[in-house]
Structure 1
Amino acid sequence: MATAKIVYASMTGNNEEIAQIMEEQFENLGVEVDTTEASQADASDFEDVDICVVATYTDGEGEIPDEAQDFYDDLQEEDLTGKIYGTCGSGDRFYGDHFCATVDDFDHTFAQTGATKGAESVKIDLAAEAEDIENLDTFVKELVAKANANG
């Protein structure tokens, strides 16, 4: 059975909700999943699972949220070769070019760890609506399919 770890950073609660949506979908697919808020997570936790997911918001002018900064820095030191990863997050289109910039930052960092991208990133404007939930379900299914093919 595949295992997954979701790490999220949430100021408004939107990404916590996104993490819960994904957690439920992973469980529906028979994946054992652990979800942790970023300030409580350790990047090395990803060494013990098949699927690594980060759900984050973007702070200010495209910055990593304070509570996720240490996690982000530590992730850059990890070797996650053989792991499947995905990134997603909530943002506000009001910020234009900075919309969900941190989702892309985590995507690039995961790629540098040797992990394999399992699905295209999902970027959500504010709270997850019905279409966003469908996109998250697809995202999770693709991650699980990639992990199963990998395993």
Structure 2
Amino acid sequence: MMKVLVAYASLTGNTEEMAELIAEGVRDAGSEAVLKSVTDLSAVEINDYEGVLLGAYTWGDGELPDEFLDFYEELDEVDLNARKAAAFGSGDTGYAIYCGAVDLIEEKLKERGALLLQESLKIEYGPNAAEKEDCRNFGRRFAAGVAAVS
């Protein structure tokens, strides 16, 4: 069974809820989903998984949250060549840069050589009923993509 890491940083619980729903979708697709906070994870652990989904809320004007910074910097030490990946997160359209942290994660994954299997998922605040299904579908599509590329 393929293992997919769903790692996230969450302050209010919005991004954590997204991560849980995405992990549910990964499991629906027949893969094992391992859900972890980035504060409990070292970037080198990514290599233990066939696929990785990284998520964070956006802080301030498009910035990564403090609790994601150490993990983000550790990614510079990890070769993600052809590692299947995607990004997700929550944000607030009231700021000039909507979900900028998601964009930063996606850029870092590309820079480190990861193979981005799908467009990132961005949700304002917490997911509503329709967006909850979007999160599950995001996980399902990702798991199917990992299986197809593996």
Bin of the TM-score, shorter chain as denominator length: over 0.9
User: What is aligned with 1:59?
Assistant: 59
SS of alignment partner, residue 93 of structure 1 = coil
TM-superposed CA distance for 1:131, in Å, is: 2.5
**Structure 2: 5+ residue stretches without partners:** none
User: What is aligned with 2:21?
Assistant: 21
Task: Give TM-score, length-normalised by structure 2.
Answer: 0.94
Residues 23 and 136 in structure 2, CA contact (< 8 A), matched pair in contact too: no
Residues 6 and 36 in structure 1, CA contact (< 8 A), matched pair in contact too: yes
Aligned length: 150
Structure 1 stretches of at least 4 aligned residues deviating more than 3 Å after TM superposition = none
Q: Does 1:134 align with 2:115?
A: no
User: Could you give the per-residue CA deviations for residues 113-138 of structure 1, whole angstroms, max 9, x where no partner exists?
Assistant: 21111111010011101222232233
User: Could you give the per-residue CA deviations for residues 41-65 of structure 1, whole angstroms, max 9, x where no partner exists?
Assistant: 1111110101111110011122211
User: What is aligned with 1:78?
Assistant: 78
User: Could you give the per-residue CA deviations for residues 61-95 of structure 1, whole angstroms, max 9, x where no partner exists?
Assistant: 22211111000001122111232101010111111
Q: Does 1:69 align with 2:69?
A: yes
Tell which has more relative contact order, 1 or 2 (C-alpha 8 A, sep 6+): 2
Residues 120 and 139 in structure 1, CA contact (< 8 A), matched pair in contact too: no
Distance 1:134 1:59 in 2: 25
Please list, as runs of the form range in 1=range in 2, the aligned pairs for 1:1-151 lying within 5 A after superposition.
1-96=1-96, 98-151=97-150
Distance 2:141 2:118 in 1: 6
SS of alignment partner, residue 95 of structure 2 = helix
- Superposition CA RMSD, Å: 1.2
**Structure 1: 5+ residue stretches without partners:** none
Provide the identity percentage: 33
